[in-house]
Amino acid sequence: MKNKLLSAIFSLSGASIAIGVLGFMAGFVTLFVDINQNISVKWLLFVVLLLVSLIIILLKIIYDLYQHVEPPPPFEVPIRYVRDEEVFVIRRNENFINNIIVGCYILKDDIDRLAYLGVVHLVQDRVIQIKIRYDFKVLGTIPESIDALKNISVRPVVPVTALQQVTNMEDANG
Amino acid sequence: MAERYFAKVVSTPDKYSVVINKGADQDIHVGQKFLIVGLGDIIIDPDTGEELEKLEIVRGQVSAEHVQQKIATLKSCEYVRSSDVKQIKKVTARGGYAMLGPQDTVTESITPGEQHLKIISGAKIGDFVIKL
């Protein structure tokens, strides 16, 4: 958000608007006000107070916009695999809520393939555990190294065909 | 103790229940649900090298079964279901009916799997309790 605000202010259109506003205000003032005239302190203080109030309100709006939360990414890359618990650990992401089914996709031969079906097992303060429920045997073994894990993306989206496939396989296994 | 952790396990009488160090004084009531977790390794962010937090190892989900003043006994409230058993019986008719040709009767029956209470795996004294 900060970058968005800064880029909006310091852009070509932002500079054009600023020059335009300054020119308009200067023209407006010289048109109606005699700049050689003495002014009363009362009016000067009033104008200063008005401007300060406006600036404070605008700063508040900018602060609120800055606090506006960016939407979380639609996927997460596992940062660790815990073999004993059969869980992938991902960073906290609000798209992943407790007990939802997630898909673990792997880019193999330039094709995105569903490798594992998982469930959000536990949401901690800063990480989330994804329990692997079904292995589609796309890979021989579940990757554990950091480099291998970077090829996996965990998404809270699962194709219905994958669910049907799992159901069929479970039925076939009795 | 961190705010996330409501209590600690003080005893493990059997594989289905645990005793915690909070009771009626802390407004625990019968039927209230909790999660028992143990703490594992610290998870480090591979990109930034930042220590994120300790991995919580889930022992099981429990509910308060018996509440005393300062302690409470919690029992597992999760169930595991064994898979259904599918039986196909084929009976070939003999005797008089066999003269009309082979008479096979196929009977298919499905015995539903049974539900068992899930054990609280690996729970030990000092494990943490999270309110659900």
In DSSP notation, A82-132 reads ETTTTEEEEE--TT--TT-EEEEEEEETTEEEEEEEEEEEEE-SSEEEEEE
Q: Between A105 and B109, where is the model more confident? A: A105
Assess B37–A contact: CB distance below 8 Å, yes or no: yes
Q: Per the structure, how many domains does chain B have?
A: 1
Assess A77–B contact: CB distance below 8 Å, yes or no: no
> Can you tell me the ipTM of this complex?
0.74
- Please provide the average confidence, as pLDDT, over all residues in chain A: 87
Assess B4–A contact: CB distance below 8 Å, yes or no: yes
Assess B91–A contact: CB distance below 8 Å, yes or no: no
What's the average model confidence in pLDDT over B16-45? 93
**Among A163, A167, A138, A172, residue whose Cα is nearest residue A152:** A138
Q: Does the predicted TM-score (pTM) go above 0.80?
A: no
Check whether B121 has a pLDDT greater than 70: yes
Assess B110–A contact: CB distance below 8 Å, yes or no: no
- Please provide the average confidence, as pLDDT, over all residues in chain B: 87
Q: Are A83 and A132 in contact (CB under 8 A)?
A: no
Looking at the DSSP assignment, which residues form a beta bridge with residue A44? none
d(CA B34, CA B59): 11
Q: Could you say which DSSP state residue B47 is in? A: T
Number of residues written out for chain A: 174
Q: At A133, is the secondary structure helix, strand, or coil? A: strand
How close A20 comes to chain B (CA, Å)?
44
Mean pLDDT check: name the lowest of A116-120, A134-138, B95-99: B95-99
What's the average model confidence in pLDDT over A108-136? 91
How high is the pLDDT of residue B1? 65
Check whether B129 has a pLDDT greater than 90: yes
CATH of the domain at B52: 2.40.10.410
How high is the pLDDT of residue B60? 92
How high is the pLDDT of residue A155? 95
Assess A130–B contact: CB distance below 8 Å, yes or no: no
d(CA B34, CA B47): 34
- Interhelix angle A2-9/A41-67, rounded to 10 degrees, is 130
Q: Is residue B91 part of a domain?
A: no
**Among B73, B69, B71, B104, residue whose Cα is nearest residue B90:** B104
Q: Is residue B63 part of a domain?
A: yes
Q: Which residues of B touch A120 (CB under 8 A)?
A: none
Q: Is residue B92 part of a domain?
A: no
How close A26 comes to chain B (CA, Å)?
51
How high is the pLDDT of residue A53? 95
Contacts of B116 (CB under 8 A, 6+ apart): B79, B80, B81, B82
Q: Between A134 and B99, where is the model more confident? A: A134
Q: With bands split at pLDDT 50, 70 and 90, how would you rate the model's confidence at A9? A: confident
Q: Is residue B68 part of a domain?
A: yes
How high is the pLDDT of residue B68? 94
The amino acid present at A79, given as its one-letter code, is I
Cβ atoms within 10 Å, residue A122: 21
Q: Is residue B123 part of a domain?
A: yes
- Per-residue pLDDT reduced to its tens digit, B54-107: 999 999 999 999 999 999 999 999 898 887 787 888 887 666 555 666 677 888
How high is the pLDDT of residue B101? 65
How high is the pLDDT of residue A57? 94
Assess A82–B contact: CB distance below 8 Å, yes or no: yes
**Among A114, A90, A30, residue whose Cα is nearest residue B47:** A90
Q: Are A127 and A72 in contact (CB under 8 A)?
A: no
How close B45 comes to chain A (CA, Å)?
7
Expressed as residue numbers, the domain containing B13 is: 7-81+116-131
Q: Which of A124, A129, A166 to mutate to test the interface with B (most CBs of B within 10 A)?
A: A124
Q: In chain A, what percentage of residues exceed pLDDT 90?
A: 45
Domain ranges across chain A: 2-67, 80-172
Cβ atoms within 10 Å, residue A62: 14
d(CA B29, CA B65): 9
CB A82 to CB B40 under 8 A? Answer: yes
CA closest to B56 among chain A residues: A124
At A9, list the tokens: 């202010």
Q: With bands split at pLDDT 50, 70 and 90, how would you rate the model's confidence at A77? A: very high
At A157, list the tokens: 């989206």
How high is the pLDDT of residue A34? 79
Q: Between A143 and B102, where is the model more confident? A: A143
What's the average model confidence in pLDDT over B113-128? 89
Q: Which of B33, B55, B58, B128 to mutate to test the interface with A (most CBs of A within 10 A)?
A: B55
Q: Is residue B89 part of a domain?
A: no
